[in-house]
Amino acid sequence: MAETAKYPKQEQEPARSEVTEVAANVLRMQLPIRMPGLGHVNAYALTDDRGAAVVDPGVPGPGNWKALVDRLRQGGLKVRDVHTVVVTHSHIDHFGTAARLAQEADAEFVVHADFAVPWLGVTRHDCVGTEDAPDRVKPDWDERTPWGGDPIRPPRNRRAIFWFMRHVMRRALLPPVPSRRLASNSVLTLAGREWFAVHTPGHTLDHLCLHDPEGGVLISGDHVLPTITPHISGVGTGPDPLRAFVESLDKVGALEGVARVLPAHGHPFDDLAARVDDIKEHHDGRLERLKGYGREFGRAASVREYSQKLFRPARWGPMAESETFAHLEHLRLAGEAERSQVDGKHLYEMG
């Protein structure tokens, strides 16, 4: 009871060291992270007579590497037993250690076809910058957001620390250059059976789920989580990321025979259809609230004004504005809101 009260969302719980089998020949390995709203990332080891594939091996750095090696050891595996590394999408808590693991294990490195990490020089075409790579990690603190909001920057008194951490992280990272890119319905043979690639854009453009129809298992990455919904950003995720996300939810919800969902954060769960419905209802509720706020304003209002209605004060800031922007753009593209611009800022008025 105390643990539940301390961590009201499963995804917030700190990583546990125990390795558990969560499906036939699939081991759950919880790795520690410190990110807003998250306390662990689930790496999965899919074992077979060749060794193992590892999905989402966590953040860069020695602490995660030590934890990963320990979890593999508990599963009767060594780094050299890993023959395949799979990354569900281009966020650092998923790909951060992937290139190191693939290199040290001499393993295949597998992602979706759209995988890209521009700030590390990795594009869809696997081009990796060398001479100018350090410049790409320099944050542009003077660039305004696409909706005309204030630049996304850390507080002035923390910028030197932020810059130092970015450079340390850059040195800890090998560029995540994949050796194989998957199209939708591509097949991987892992854990002794066939897994199908399911492209699920929304959270990112390149998000990938893996479906095992024989075992009734879906490795869902961040696309479907047990107690939270992933951030739907209005930046770098296409013209209508919310629509893409909902369509992707419908896609996995239509998969037949899924009896076990293995998320990237939180515990495995069983009722995929119910969780998909819950997440869609959550976003429908946000859209209705935004329309209601628009009627309350009685005028065109900024993304920040809408976001500060939609989110509680503790959540105000760039991420809240980005998600609000994604929802407002969805309404605009659906013909339910109109957008104008004043002094470089997008303003939205409900139709």
Class of domain 290-350: mainly alpha
The predicted model gives 68-93 an average pLDDT of 98
Task: Please list, in sequence order, all residues whose beta carbon lies within 8 angstroms of the beta carbon of residue 34, skipping any fewer than 6 positions away.
Answer: none
Identify the burial level of 276 via C-beta atoms within 10 angstroms of its C-beta, where 0-12 means exposed, 13-18 middle and 19 or more buried: buried
* Dist. CA 256–CA 254, nearest whole Å: 6
202 pLDDT above the threshold of 80: yes
Considering the chain, what percentage of its residues have pLDDT values greater than 70?
Answer: 87
Same fold for the pair 2-128+175-270 and 290-350? no
Show me where the domains of the chain are located: 2-128+175-270, 290-350
* Dist. CA 79–CA 104, nearest whole Å: 7
What is the predicted pLDDT for the residue at 152?
62
The predicted model gives 218-243 an average pLDDT of 96
* Dist. CA 262–CA 255, nearest whole Å: 15
The predicted model gives 66-74 an average pLDDT of 98
Question: Taking phi first (over 0 means left), then psi (-120 to 50 degrees means alpha), and beta for anything else, what does residue 224 get?
Answer: beta
Least confident among 42-51, 76-85, 153-162, 277-286: 153-162
Q: What is the CATH number of domain 2-128+175-270?
A: 3.60.15.10
What are the tokens at 174?
């090998």
For residue 160, CA distances in Å to 90, 143, 157 come to 26, 18, 7
pTM of model > 0.75: yes
CB atoms near residue 160 (< 10 Å): 10
What are the tokens at 100?
């190191």
Computed over every residue of the chain, the mean pLDDT equals: 90
Are 290 and 283 in contact, with CB atoms under 8 Å apart?
no
